[in-house]
Structure 1
Amino acid sequence: MRKAFILMSMLLLAVIVAACGSSEDTGDSGSNNESEEASDSKWSEIQEEGEIVVGTSGTLFPASYYPEGSDEMSGYDVEIMREIADRLGLELKFEEYGVDGLLSAINSGRIDAVINDMEITKDRQEQFAFSEPYKYSYSTMIVRESDLSGIEKLEDLEGKTHGGGATTVFSQIAEHFGAETKTYGNVTNDVYLRDVENGNTDFIINDYYLQSLALKALTDIEVQLHPDLKFHPTNSAIVMPKEAETMKEEIDAVLAEMKEDGTLTELSEEFFGGQDASKEPEEDIREIEGLDL
């Protein structure tokens, strides 16, 4: 009788242990499934709609702008996104925002992604997913022609006024060296440049390619690129919601194709005066120490 009781107890214990194991396995599987569903949901929504909605400024020459006399947006970033959407079999809709409103538009769900020469930073990577880079560059500085705005080195920025967006990396660099930033809405390049010329601001930090081409387009404004300052190497990429892993994989695959077949090089040479911004620069670029981006 005692043996029968012990045997029954052991069988009951085995059933309980098996049940616990089964419960734990189910929990892990459910958690994994939920994670996979979250990563797939954004891409599933886009596929169901047959359309991807992308935020850009429309005022950033030559990345995202309206050519003179045209009501259709173009630019390096814009044409890259058009090619990606086409290869993915999706319609493309652009929504225009000021630079400071682009990332918040992703968080609010108003757009699916952002393409606007957006730099990959550690801080942004904690909040968003980024594609592989489609552009490599570095930062330069626009100053007055007459006196280089009194700037010989980055340490001379202390006490000076920088023109830029409040949430940009370029403003963070300026403020890191003690400058104040005068912020703007969604304005065109000439507004920034004329403020440097007339002394309302002292300098503008931005991407080398964007600044050099803006100066070529606006030759009547007496400003120039600083001849000696090249700093902060950058990678630009498409920004997506943090959980949109499947969407990132799909976009990365197309970007890899475009790099391999020469499409990125062709688009870059078209919009950057024959220069290939899709490849890393060979210049000696200063890294900024102590700046956590």
Structure 2
Amino acid sequence: MKNKGLFFILTLLTAVLLAACGSDSEQNASGDDKKEDSAWSEIKEKGEIVVGTSGTLFPASYYPEDSNELTGYDVEIMREIAKRLDLELKFEEYGVDGILAAIKSGRIDMAINDMEETEKRAEEFTFSEPYKYSYSTMIVREDDLSGIETLEDLEGKVAGGAATTVFAQISEHFGAELKTYGNVTNDVYLRDVEQGRTDLIINDYYLQSLALKALPEIDVTLHPDLKFYPTSSSVVMPKDAPTLEEKVNETLKEMREDGTLTELSKEFFGGKDASEKPEEDIQEIEGLDL
């Protein structure tokens, strides 16, 4: 009887301990879920999403001449996302270098500014599925192509750009000196190339094509022979925000399937569909540490 009683007590204690462990585990899991979903919960609670963008990147995020209304491909995509998620939308403007820092500090909920996912960025941020596909090109002086025939000719040249972009890293990878700017408009970059203060600008094909079209009086051109580094652009969100990521991706998928992304792209990219991958033969860049 004594042994049976002892066995019963030990069994009961084991059951209690297992229940307690299970309860702690459930609480921890609940706590993790709460932490992971906090980004979306906070947005939903306030009914507003605060988004970082530059406001100076034509045609992704810019102010048309004589207008104080922010627009652009990226801006209108975000307006549609907010509308479909039943949220108010507020834009905060930052230079390219300040956008990611603003996400980390919590000053903004996410960012949209033609930003590409890289391995290093993915360690600190969450990226949506791409809403734009493109590749890199190079603006050079029209009369002599800035003395550049291949990417290797960037050695010793001066490239205009923002310090934390992929395009800046490509320039430096091939030996160019980088001249950085604050949150300036496209004409400042282009005139520096024209006047010899810089030699080139590496950036997105669509953005550079339209910048040149908008400023035909500046004597610069896209390099006719250099198409390299295929790219994609995504919405940038805080790390460990799975619900927010899911909501944004679901909405982008809807917009792709119902033709909204194509419609917006053609509106802002001269009738071209940047929401689909380009068919051109694009040069990959080996050894680029992103």
Q: Normalization by structure 2: what TM-score?
A: 0.97
Work out which of the residue numbers 227, 230, 251 in structure 2 matches 1:230.
Answer: 227
Shifted more, 32-41 versus 107-116: the winner is 32-41
Equivalent runs, 1:54-203 vs 2, <5 Å:
54-203=51-200
Q: Residue 30 of structure 2 aligns with which residue?
A: 33
Work out which of the residue numbers 2, 6, 17 in structure 1 matches 2:3.
Answer: 6
Shifted more, 10-19 versus 135-144: the winner is 10-19
Deviations 1:223-269 (A, max 9, x none): 11111111111110111111221111111111111111111001000
1-side partners of 2:27 and 2:281: how far apart? 50
Work out which of the residue numbers 194, 209, 212 in structure 2 matches 1:212.
Answer: 209
Q: Residue 285 of structure 1 aligns with which residue?
A: 282
Instruction: Report how far residue 41 of structure 1 moved.
Output: 1.4
CA RMSD in angstroms, aligned pairs only = 1.2
Work out which of the residue numbers 262, 271, 274 in structure 1 matches 2:268.
Answer: 271
Counterpart of 2:221, as a letter, is Q
Shifted more, 36-45 versus 15-24: the winner is 15-24
Counterpart of 1:77, as a letter, is D
Deviations 1:29-70 (A, max 9, x none): 222212211122111111111111100000000000000111
Counterpart of 1:257, as a letter, is E
2-side partners of 1:242 and 1:272: how far apart? 31
Q: Counterpart of 2:284 in 1: which secondary structure?
A: coil
Q: Counterpart of 1:187 in 2: which secondary structure?
A: coil
Q: Residue 243 of structure 2 aligns with which residue?
A: 246
Counterpart of 2:20, as a letter, is S
Instruction: Report how far residue 287 of structure 1 moved.
Output: 1.3
| Structure 2 segments unaligned to the other structure (5+ residues) | none
Q: Residue 48 of structure 2 aligns with which residue?
A: 51
Shifted more, 24-33 versus 259-268: the winner is 24-33
Shifted more, 195-204 versus 14-23: the winner is 14-23
Q: Normalization by structure 1: what TM-score?
A: 0.96
2-side partners of 1:289 and 1:12: how far apart? 67
1-side partners of 2:15 and 2:228: how far apart? 61
Shifted more, 142-151 versus 62-71: the winner is 142-151
2-side partners of 1:134 and 1:102: how far apart? 19
Instruction: Report how far residue 196 of structure 1 moved.
Output: 0.8
Instruction: Report how far residue 153 of structure 1 moved.
Output: 1.0
Instruction: Report how far residue 81 of structure 1 moved.
Output: 0.6
2-side partners of 1:226 and 1:23: how far apart? 68
Instruction: Report how far residue 93 of structure 1 moved.
Output: 0.5
**Structure 1 runs of 4+ off > 4 angstroms?**
none
Instruction: Report how far residue 100 of structure 1 moved.
Output: 0.3
2-side partners of 1:166 and 1:249: how far apart? 31
2-side partners of 1:11 and 1:177: how far apart? 75
- Residues 1:201 and 1:29: Cα distance change in structure 2 (over 3 Å): same
Counterpart of 1:139, as a letter, is S
Deviations 1:201-227 (A, max 9, x none): 111110000000000011111111111
Q: Counterpart of 2:35 in 1: which secondary structure?
A: helix
Work out the percentage of aligned pairs sharing the same amino acid: 69
